[in-house]
């Protein structure tokens, strides 16, 4: 971390040697909580420098320019706009090919860095990003990154589990009808969506470990809460259900969410 901001490298080596050989630089009175906060600060500072370098690199590789387009519904306005475009257009043919920019979604969870790339070509070309990250890491941070720590997945075939979600991509087929002056044609529009579903099996295992249900998902009595008052039991179950609904309300399939609601309701009734 300091090597990126301090130019005197020999001084850093001398400081490292002193810290490793001398016991006077230790802090015996500092608690583990203070040390953990200090290490967390250093790690966040380190990841922030990584993210800054990545954003700077992406800005150099890709030029994120938005290409405007129109939705034309009225036939009269359609003819007027086409005539206006033809008057302003260049008579010489334009042989430039318009390429679609990549859509890059960046997520960091603890020590895991996740990049979701859409529109970057076929899946084999995306695998070249693995080599790019190895070169990037060795150039900017002067350390070797094990290639086994970088995995490339196709979300359409291999869903990704992160932050309590199972993420995948799906293609939605929308049928539309295009109407011209004297006839109309039917066509289909394929829209790729980035969706998340609830990992119901892992959640049922967690609830069974906490005593809300068994391993098959059947609600049971929460024995550790039987000594509480009825109002406190209802308040705790209601708070857990609200937090789960808020967190998983954006999922595509709600069946797992309703199953969790069933477990908490009957577990609350049996606890009362």
Check: CB of residue 114 under 8 Å from CB of residue 160: yes
Chain-centre distance of CA 167, in angstroms? 8
pLDDT string in tens for the chain (272-residue length): 555 555 555 656 665 666 666 555 454 555 565 566 667 766 777 777 777 777 777 666 665 444 444 444 444 444 454 455 445 445 554 444 444 556 666 777 666 777 777 655 555 666 677 777 777 777 776 777 777 777 777 776 777 777 777 877 777 777 777 777 777 777 777 777 767 788 888 888 888 888 888 888 888 888 888 888 888 888 888 888 888 888 888 777 788 888 888 888 888 888 88
For 193, phi then psi, to 5°, come to -120, 150
Map 17-28 to HEC letters.
Answer: HHHHHCCCCCCC
**pTM given for the model:** 0.54
Q: Which residues contact 28 (CB under 8 A, 6 or more apart)?
A: none
118, containing H or E segment: strand 112-118
Q: How far is CA 190 from CA 170, 172, 175, 196, in A?
A: 10, 6, 9, 19
Identify the CA nearest to 146 among candidates 155, 133, 159, 156: 133
Identify the CA nearest to 99 among candidates 57, 58, 59, 63: 63
175, containing H or E segment: strand 165-179
Distance CA 19, CA 25 (A): 6
C-alpha dihedral sign at 4, 5, 9, 11: negative
CA angle 213, 219, 224 (to 5 degrees): 60
- Map out the domains of the chain as residue ranges: 200-271
β-pair partners for 196: 167
Distance CA 73, CA 63 (A): 31
Distance CA 233, CA 221 (A): 11
For 167, phi then psi, to 5°, come to -100, 140
Q: Tokens 């993210």 identify what position? A: 51
User: How many other C-beta atoms lie within 10 A of the C-beta of residue 243?
Assistant: 10
């Amino acid at each position: 971390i300091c090597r990126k901001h301090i130019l005197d490298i020999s001084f850093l080596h001398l400081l490292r040697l002193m810290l490793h050989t001398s016991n006077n630089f230790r802090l015996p009175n500092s608690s583990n909580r203070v040390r953990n906060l200090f290490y967390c600060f250093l790690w966040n500072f380190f990841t922030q420098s990584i993210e800054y370098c990545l954003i700077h690199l992406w800005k150099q590789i890709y030029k994120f320019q938005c290409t405007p387009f129109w939705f034309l519904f009225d036939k009269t306005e359609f003819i007027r706009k086409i005539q206006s475009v033809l008057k302003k257009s260049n008579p010489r043919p334009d042989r430039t090919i318009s390429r679609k920019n990549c859509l890059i979604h960046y997520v960091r969870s603890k020590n895991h860095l996740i990049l979701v790339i859409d529109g970057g070509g076929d899946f084999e070309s995306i695998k070249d990003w693995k080599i790019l990250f190895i070169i990037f890491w060795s150039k900017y941070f002067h350390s070797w990154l094990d290639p086994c720590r970088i995995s490339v997945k196709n979300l359409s075939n291999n869903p990704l589990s992160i932050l309590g979600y199972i993420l995948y991509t799906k293609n939605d087929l929308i049928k539309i009808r295009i109407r011209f002056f004297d006839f109309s044609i039917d066509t289909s529009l394929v829209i790729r969506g980035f969706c998340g579903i609830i990992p119901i099996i892992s959640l049922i295992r967690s609830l069974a470990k906490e005593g809300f249900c068994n391993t098959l998902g059947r609600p049971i009595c929460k024995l550790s809460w039987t000594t509480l008052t009825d109002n406190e039991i209802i308040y705790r179950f209601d708070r857990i259900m609200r937090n789960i609904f808020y967190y998983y309300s954006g999922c595509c399939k709600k069946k797992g969410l309703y199953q969790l609601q069933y477990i908490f309701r009957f577990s609350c009734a049996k606890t009362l």
